C-alpha cells in the first residue's frame, strides 16, 4: 500500500494535469489538505515538497503554494506500426496505459435514417446507443459514442461496457473475429458539454474519428464517433512505394 503522502501527491498531480488547478492558481492550503485527508501537516508538507522537486508547484511565504507548470501528459499513437486498429482502443493501447471506462449511458433507440443506411436495417429497428468516457491511467482521454444493432447483439450489460473490452465481448457473442474498420478523421474543438466531461478547457483541440467496424462475414456491427483529446493522441501512417 502506498504511503499517505504519495496518495496526496498523486491526487494533487492529477488535479494539476486535469486543469483543476491551472498554472498560476493556488492549491489548497496545508491546513485544508490536512483536514481533507485527516493527516498531519507534516504529511501534507512532504507531499508538497515532492511536487516542488518536480517543478509543479512553488511555495511563496505568506501567500501559499502556486502551480508553476503542468507536466506534459503522455502522447498515445493511434494506429501505431504493427498494431491492428480494428481491435479497438482497449486492445490496441492497453500496453501503453491502464484503460478504464466511465459509462454515461447505455440505452436502446430506433436506428434512424443514418444508422439504418449503415447497418442495412429499417429506420425503426432498435440499436444500442452507448456513450463512454475512456480514461488512460485515470485521466479522461476521450469520449466514445457507439451504436450497435440489437439484431447483432441483443443485450450489452453495463458491466461489460465499464470493465471489459467491448470488441472481445462482440467476438465471443457472435462467434466471429473482427473483420475490419473504416475510419474518417478530422480536427475540431471540444464544446462546453464534452469539455466538462473530460475536465478540460472549452475549445481544446480534438481529434474526431468517425468509424464503422464489421465482423469477418462483412456484417457491420458498430458505427461510432470518438472525440479524442488533441494533446494526448497522434495518428501514425506509413506508406511504402513500390518501384
- Please state the pTM of the whole predicted model: 0.68
Range of the domain at 9: 4-67
CATH of residue 133:
3.40.1410.10
> Quick one: 215 and 163 in the same domain?
yes
> Quick one: 12 and 98 in the same domain?
no
CATH of residue 23:
1.10.10.10
> Quick one: 9 and 95 in the same domain?
no
Confidence (pLDDT) at 92: 59
**5 CB burial (10 A radius; 0-12, 13-18, 19+):** buried
180 in helix, strand or coil? strand
> Quick one: 62 and 101 in the same domain?
no
pLDDT along the chain (243 residues), means of 10: 87 88 92 95 92 83 86 62 50 70 98 96 97 90 97 96 92 92 93 92 91 95 95 74 69
| Domain contains 243 | no
| Domain contains 240 | no
> Quick one: 143 and 100 in the same domain?
yes
Give residue for cell 471489459: 164
> Quick one: 210 and 117 in the same domain?
yes
- Last residue in a domain, options 67, 89, 108: 67
Give residue for cell 478547457: 201
- Last residue in a domain, options 67, 99, 114: 67
| Domain contains 94 | yes
> Quick one: 35 and 103 in the same domain?
no
| Helix extents (H) in the chain | 4-17, 30-37, 41-53, 89-93, 112-119, 158-163, 166-174, 192-198
Task: Tally the domains of the chain.
Answer: 2
Rounded to whole angstroms, how far apart are CA atoms 156 and 146?
Answer: 12
> Quick one: 60 and 96 in the same domain?
no
Amino acid at each position: 500500500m502506498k504511503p499517505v503522502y504519495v496518495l496526496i501527491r498523486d491526487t494533487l498531480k492529477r488535479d494539476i494535469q486535469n486543469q483543476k488547478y491551472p498554472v498560476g492558481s493556488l492549491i489548497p492550503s496545508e491546513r485544508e489538505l490536512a483536514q481533507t485527508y485527516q493527516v498531519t501537516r507534516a504529511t501534507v508538507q512532504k507531499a508538497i515538497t515532492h511536487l516542488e522537486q518536480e517543478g509543479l508547484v512553488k511555495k511563496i511565504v505568506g501567500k501559499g503554494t502556486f502551480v508553476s507548470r503542468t507536466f506534459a501528459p503522455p502522447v498515445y499513437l493511434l494506429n501505431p506500426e504493427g498494431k491492428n486498429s480494428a481491435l479497438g482502443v482497449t486492445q490496441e493501447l492497453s500496453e501503453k496505459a491502464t484503460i478504464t471506462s466511465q459509462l454515461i449511458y447505455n440505452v436502446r433507440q430506433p436506428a434512424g435514417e443514418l444508422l439504418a443506411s449503415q447497418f442495412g436495417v429499417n429506420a425503426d429497428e432498435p440499436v444500442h446507443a452507448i456513450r463512454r468516457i475512456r480514461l488512460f491511467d485515470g485521466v479522461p482521454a476521450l469520449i466514445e459514442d457507439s451504436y450497435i444493432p440489437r439484431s447483432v447483439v441483443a443485450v450489452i450489460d453495463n458491466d461489460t461496457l465499464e470493465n471489459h473490452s467491448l470488441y472481445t465481448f462482440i467476438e465471443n457473442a457472435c462467434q466471429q473475429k473482427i473483420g475490419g474498420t473504416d475510419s474518417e478523421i478530422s480536427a475540431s474543438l471540444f464544446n462546453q458539454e464534452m469539455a466538462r466531461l473530460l475536465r478540460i478547457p472549452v475549445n481544446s483541440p480534438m481529434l474526431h474519428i468517425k468509424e464503422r467496424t464489421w465482423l469477418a462475414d462483412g456484417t457491420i456491427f458498430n458505427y461510432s464517433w470518438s472525440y479524442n483529446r488533441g494533446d494526448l493522441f497522434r495518428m501514425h501512417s506509413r506508406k511504402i512505394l513500390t518501384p
